[in-house]
Chains A and B, each alone.
Chain A
């Protein structure tokens, strides 16, 4: 026994030493000697935006260190760190999260030239953050099981008895919460509560996240899913699109067709605001927008950027006609949460 313990100790010690040496090798972009270092907290996935943030390094002439996490957990971390955060820039994928950080006074106003490229509807009212890409809410369905002409034409059609127990949603997902906030803003508290109560009566199925919902639709466990448009494209990265039986149903001029955003802001606590602003400006550059549109299948937030591929097909943003909800108002998630609690959906 002693011998084995000693062997394990030896092996593990050498591993610890190796781990110490190995962690520096993670960065694929070469370090720029003598240049300052910018720290980004990214709530966007490394697989999606890793390449983009490497390009940022050359574009802004600084070493870019990125901590990857999920938008929700990273926001919680930033709220916990407060003024002591080591982060300079936050890159997140939900207007609610960016709004909550702004509300907590953690984000600094962005100068006009930083956000100049962005279309006006994609800037926060107080200029503390700017949207870097758009994502549409959709109703995902299995085209083998539901013909296109039977799909719900609006949010109230989801309350039809035929969908009882057949709808999937992700209660802890930020995009779902944004959808409900949008519904609340469009219909008022009473109107939203009425819809939510009826929706709860439909016995919708809860899932861990949007990805799980889309899988469940493919497998036939549920019929409809309230998700974002790009999950379908993520799913068909590894799986043959022909065998993955899910399609997106866009619902224009309706709460179901809300367009949410990913975006970025500069932390008030940063000691290099100019560099941080340049980083945000880079995300709105033509180069960066092209990258996002092609790699993440999202919509651009600047004018004149088109996808360079036709496959997989994506309806142009002009055809989406999202409901008239101001993105900045999506930060009132606390009211939404109370309402969801009351209706038993959370």
Chain B
């Protein structure tokens, strides 16, 4: 409980800041922002983009995971490695390279396509894990009763992966709400544009606070929707006793499915990587290797620290969510999602306010920076912890308790080892997302600490693209490495 409360305090930082500032701004200024026609316009745009990208990611991520895990898809082994990798491409890099390669690409279709291409792994990864862990016996039985493979997929497999798919969809939705890089580069205005203009252009911060609170409301609505769509998770049958499901023969549809997935990869990985390699070649001669290495080390260092802290906090919330669901727990979970729906700049400034007022000795130290990352990325780990714990039937703990263990000891000795891979997956997700983070890093890093994202921003904002490209390339590599390790874990479980 105390654990959960600590997480709640951390997660509440931006909300408290926004509410305090909106109250301080006074009624007329708030009403002026809320009633401006542009506000409604931006709200509708944000909501539309979020809904469209989320729906597309849930469909694409789930189908892709099913194709890789449950069918004889041609090239599935290679695709299983490549498909999660777009997660390593920061949305601003994808947005920038697309805007550079195809300047005619702009507006809703462009933002939709690029955000979908870099966000669907949020759905793919948990669904893939759920498919791998789930027992295939039920599917086999359904097949033996004469149901076609698609019908089995829809009636037997989908209900089982639905919690994983909707949890991933929630992360996509929060991410799209908070994204500024891709939408601004691809020129589709959303609420985050209003927030950035208010902070950086006009120095009148009231609109930024009001629009921030609007984003928070949207996030709550999304989280409620997800809780409803998730429904009650079916207690999965232990995978240790089960067998993998039989692979569905795709026949002539196979090559088409492969081609479709390759097309997605071209959008998400192909264009950015080719663009980066071309620019890197131009800038190779003037590259400062020591500087690049220092930035890579600094990035990995803060990302690792943030992954540990965030995961520890998330375990409190996630375990409560899985084992003691209720009103308080749901409120706690929703609170933990808010930071992820706000742009890094808003959360960063909230932590600045907290730092100078209450935590002065920690201001502009790595400690406070890591705290800001925890606020921003808590939901990535909370979702992973909850589904990992949910996947272990409470019966096992009950058995342990009947043998004389206390409730926490039962949790630690029985559930923790089984949930560990899922929790590690959550930590990995936090690691690679932190590695890509820019606005909060700029505000809160210790003076002189330069991450890859900071260097990339510094060079590209004066158009030194050739010099910037190696930093982007290494950033993609640093973020891709844990994804590969994560997949090996999933893969090994599949084989044992």
Are B357 and A84 in contact, with the CB atoms below 8 A?
A: yes
Are A205 and B294 in contact, with the CB atoms below 8 A?
A: no
Residue of A nearest to B38 (CB): A341
CB-defined interface of A203-222 with B at 8 Å, one 1/0 digit per residue? 00111110110011001110
CB-defined interface of A74-101 with B at 8 Å, one 1/0 digit per residue? 0111011110111000000000110010
- B197 at interface, CB cutoff 8 A: yes
Q: Which of A210-254 contact B (CB under 8 A)?
A: 211-212, 215-216, 219-221, 231, 234-235, 237-238
Are B187 and A86 in contact, with the CB atoms below 8 A?
A: no
In the complex, what distance in Å separates the CA atom of A235 from the CA atom of B100?
13
CB-defined interface of B463-496 with A at 8 Å, one 1/0 digit per residue? 1111100000000000000100100110011000
In the complex, what distance in Å separates the CA atom of A334 from the CA atom of B297?
42
- A320 at interface, CB cutoff 8 A: no
Task: Write out the residue numbers on chain B whose beta carbons fall within 8 Å of the beta carbon of A67.
Answer: 364, 447
Q: Which stretch from A23-31, A129-137, A157-165 is at the chain B interface? A: A23-31
Are A72 and B450 in contact, with the CB atoms below 8 A?
A: no
Q: Which stretch from B372-380, B381-389, B454-462 is at the chain A interface? A: B454-462
* The one of A100, A221, A234 that contacts B462, using a Cβ cutoff of 8 Å: A234
Are A18 and B301 in contact, with the CB atoms below 8 A?
A: yes
Are A15 and B297 in contact, with the CB atoms below 8 A?
A: yes
Are A84 and B360 in contact, with the CB atoms below 8 A?
A: yes
Task: Write out the residue numbers on chain A whose beta carbons fall within 8 Å of the beta carbon of B38.
Answer: 341, 344, 346
In the complex, what distance in Å separates the CA atom of A65 from the CA atom of B196?
27
Task: Write out the residue numbers on chain B whose beta carbons fall within 8 Å of the beta carbon of A323.
Answer: none
In the complex, what distance in Å separates the CA atom of A96 from the CA atom of B189?
23
Are A4 and B187 in contact, with the CB atoms below 8 A?
A: no
Residue of B nearest to A178 (CB): B201
Distance in Å: Cβ of A144 to nearest Cβ of chain B: 16
In the complex, what distance in Å separates the CA atom of A69 from the CA atom of B441?
10
In the complex, what distance in Å separates the CA atom of A257 from the CA atom of B193?
27
Q: Which stretch from A43-51, A115-123, A148-156 is at the chain B interface? A: A43-51
CB-defined interface of B336-375 with A at 8 Å, one 1/0 digit per residue? 0000000001000100110011001001100000000000
Are B302 and A73 in contact, with the CB atoms below 8 A?
A: no
Task: Write out the residue numbers on chain B whose beta carbons fall within 8 Å of the beta carbon of A147.
Answer: none
* Most central of B204, B305, B463, B492 by chain A CB within 10 Å: B463
In the complex, what distance in Å separates the CA atom of A75 from the CA atom of B205?
11
Residue of B nearest to A238 (CB): B466
* The one of A20, A47, A97, A206 that contacts B301, using a Cβ cutoff of 8 Å: A20
Task: Write out the residue numbers on chain A whose beta carbons fall within 8 Å of the beta carbon of B301.
Answer: 12, 15-20
Are A84 and B443 in contact, with the CB atoms below 8 A?
A: no
- A337 at interface, CB cutoff 8 A: yes
Task: Write out the residue numbers on chain B whose beta carbons fall within 8 Å of the beta carbon of A220.
Answer: 103
Are A68 and B463 in contact, with the CB atoms below 8 A?
A: no
In the complex, what distance in Å separates the CA atom of A235 from the CA atom of B460?
10
Q: Report if A72-B201 is in contact (Cβ < 8 Å); known contacts: A27-B448, A45-B462, A234-B463.
A: yes
- A303 at interface, CB cutoff 8 A: no
* The one of A8, A24, A77, A96 that contacts B482, using a Cβ cutoff of 8 Å: A8
Q: Report if A46-B458 is in contact (Cβ < 8 Å); known contacts: A15-B304, A26-B450, A212-B99.
A: yes
- B74 at interface, CB cutoff 8 A: no
Residue of A nearest to B203 (CB): A100
User: By DSSP majority rule, is chain B's interface helix, strand, loop, or mixed?
Assistant: helix
Are B205 and A231 in contact, with the CB atoms below 8 A?
A: no
Residue of B nearest to A208 (CB): B184
- A280 at interface, CB cutoff 8 A: no
* The one of B205, B294, B482 that contacts A22, using a Cβ cutoff of 8 Å: B294
- A172 at interface, CB cutoff 8 A: yes
Are B446 and A77 in contact, with the CB atoms below 8 A?
A: no
Task: Write out the residue numbers on chain B whose beta carbons fall within 8 Å of the beta carbon of A13.
Answer: 304
- A302 at interface, CB cutoff 8 A: no
- A177 at interface, CB cutoff 8 A: yes
Residue of B nearest to A4 (CB): B485
Q: Which of B177-223 contact A (CB under 8 A)?
A: 184-185, 187, 189, 193-194, 196-205
Are B448 and A77 in contact, with the CB atoms below 8 A?
A: no
In the complex, what distance in Å separates the CA atom of A191 from the CA atom of B241?
78
Distance in Å: Cβ of A199 to nearest Cβ of chain B: 16
Residue of B nearest to A17 (CB): B301
In the complex, what distance in Å separates the CA atom of A205 from the CA atom of B492?
51
Residue of A nearest to B197 (CB): A172
Q: Which of B285-331 contact A (CB under 8 A)?
A: 294, 297-298, 300-302, 304-305
* The one of A1, A66, A77, A219 that contacts B443, using a Cβ cutoff of 8 Å: A77
In the complex, what distance in Å separates the CA atom of A85 from the CA atom of B363?
10
Residue of B nearest to A82 (CB): B356
In the complex, what distance in Å separates the CA atom of A20 from the CA atom of B298?
8
Residue of B nearest to A22 (CB): B294
Are B304 and A333 in contact, with the CB atoms below 8 A?
A: no
* The one of A211, A219, A231, A333 that contacts B103, using a Cβ cutoff of 8 Å: A219
Task: Write out the residue numbers on chain B whose beta carbons fall within 8 Å of the beta carbon of A71.
Answer: 200
In the complex, what distance in Å separates the CA atom of A215 from the CA atom of B357?
43
Are A172 and B196 in contact, with the CB atoms below 8 A?
A: yes
In the complex, what distance in Å separates the CA atom of A221 from the CA atom of B387?
47
Interface residues of A (CB under 8 A from B): 1-2, 4-5, 8, 12-13, 15-20, 22-27, 39, 45-48, 65-73, 75-77, 79-82, 84-86, 96-97, 100, 171-174, 176-177, 205-209, 211-212, 215-216, 219-221, 231, 234-235, 237-238, 333-334, 336-337, 341, 344, 346
Q: List 27 A-B contacts (CB under 8 A).
A: A1-B492, A1-B493, A4-B488, A5-B424, A16-B300, A19-B301, A19-B449, A20-B301, A23-B446, A46-B458, A66-B447, A69-B443, A70-B200, A73-B199, A73-B345, A73-B443, A76-B345, A77-B349, A80-B349, A172-B201, A177-B201, A206-B187, A234-B464, A238-B283, A333-B203, A337-B202, A344-B38
Given contacts A47-B464, A75-B200, A237-B464, 13 further A-B contacts (CB under 8 A): A1-B420, A19-B300, A26-B294, A45-B458, A67-B447, A69-B442, A73-B199, A96-B203, A100-B203, A171-B201, A172-B196, A237-B463, A238-B282
The 5 residue pairs across chains A and B that have the minimum distance between CB atoms: A72-B200, A19-B301, A12-B304, A100-B203, A84-B356
